[in-house]
Amino acid sequence: MWAVGMLTIMLRALLVVSVLAGLTAPARAEFWASSMGDLLKAAKRIEVIQVTAVSDTQVGAMMEGTLVTAIRSGVKVGAKVGHGLGYLPKPKVGDRVLLVCDDECPRAIGVERDGMFTLVAQQPMDGAIVTPTVVQAASVPLLAAGQPAPDLCIRGIVELLDDMARPGFDVKVRAADGTGRGTIAGRKVDAALSGVWFASQSNAIGLRLAVSGSVSLVADHIGRDKDGCFSSVFTPSMPLARTTKSLDRALDSANRGMTIARGTLVVAKGAPVPAGKHAISFTVNPEGYLQLASDLAEGQVSRIQRDAGHYGLGFGTKVASPNDPELMFDFPVDMLAAKEHGAALAKIVRGGATAQVTWLRGSTKTALGSITLDYVREPADLKPRARSTE
């Protein structure tokens, strides 16, 4: 999982360029991105399969099932089919799965829930994302034929850590590329629906709302209301907004950096760092990236660990060494993968958090002790900007 975290850091800036441009962009080999419309229109194979078996083989997971819909296929409906899944998450027996192939097969799969598929794409050894990640089942043959499909309606509420207010939003986006318009708390916004690329193996959803500035909202899943609208509770992630004031400022491109947590690490003698008290301060910069300030380590996140029951954050240290020692903070929590690290840490510390701190040099780990972090609320003197409504 640490390797996934490192890839997250290296490709974060790359994603913005590649997704907004709709182009393939270079990573370590090649990052892949496509709109839903382009993917389905150009696909060589589009099938819906009722899964009857899922197994692990020496070359990866295998899905077997019955072909129930052949939108573009050389196989007849009712035939028994099998596919290797590569890097894609495994469905369950009984799931109806949309399988899409281009030069890569499968390029993407999606499990059907409530009449929609949430697609996860793959590019072996690198990253991949399709925008938007959700498509209504009835829209798949339309988009595959290059025809217009009904817009996606998304509504939700925004959860703010330091504010009892829960602003509501309503947007409509195009099924082919996930872009559109809507409102949040009475403000008109541009909208873009996507997945969360560094959490692409989950059902996480990302929604970008923009006026003159923008804010990315994330949810760990999305459901459907009785009228067919997609809905969920969303959290501001990039930049971090914890009140309606900072949400407004983000939309007006006036967001600013803030301290979110402080604490003191007490190190005993014999450790590879000086004994005594070390002040620790976590901030997010105006873009929402998490940063650490201390006499032991500083700068942005260098390592992420997401295991069951653990959320680990590592930072580069001030000690020059061929092994690049890192200062690791391990929180005993499960964390929503879609949250950027500043938003994730603020959520953790808001509820009270003690982390185990480790000095990591190569494969050698040295425990430095534990630290209890105090949450720092959003400044009370933060003033909203004069609202722009267009």
Note the pTM of the prediction, 2 decimals. 0.82
Side-chain-facing half-sphere of 145: CA atoms under 13 Å? 9
Closest CA to 382 of 184, 265, 242, 222: 242
pLDDT tens column, 366-383 = 999 999 999 999 987 656
What are the Cα distances from residue 118, in Å, to 50, 133, 183, 310, 376?
Answer: 16, 5, 24, 26, 36
Which residues does residue 374 pair with via DSSP β-bridges, in sequence order? Answer: 262
pLDDT in tens, 98-117: 999 999 999 999 999 888 89
Q: What is the pLDDT along the chain (390 residues), one digit of tens a residue?
A: 333 333 333 333 333 333 333 333 333 447 889 999 999 999 999 999 999 999 987 777 899 999 999 999 999 999 999 999 887 888 999 999 999 999 999 999 999 988 889 898 988 877 788 899 899 999 999 999 999 999 999 999 999 999 999 999 999 999 999 999 999 998 999 999 987 755 555 667 889 999 999 999 998 878 888 888 989 999 998 899 999 999 999 999 998 889 999 999 999 999 988 999 999 999 999 988 999 999 999 898 888 888 888 889 999 886 655 557 899 999 998 876 667 788 889 999 998 889 999 998 888 899 999 999 999 999 876 565 555 544
| Other beta carbons less than 10 A from residue 66's beta carbon | 14
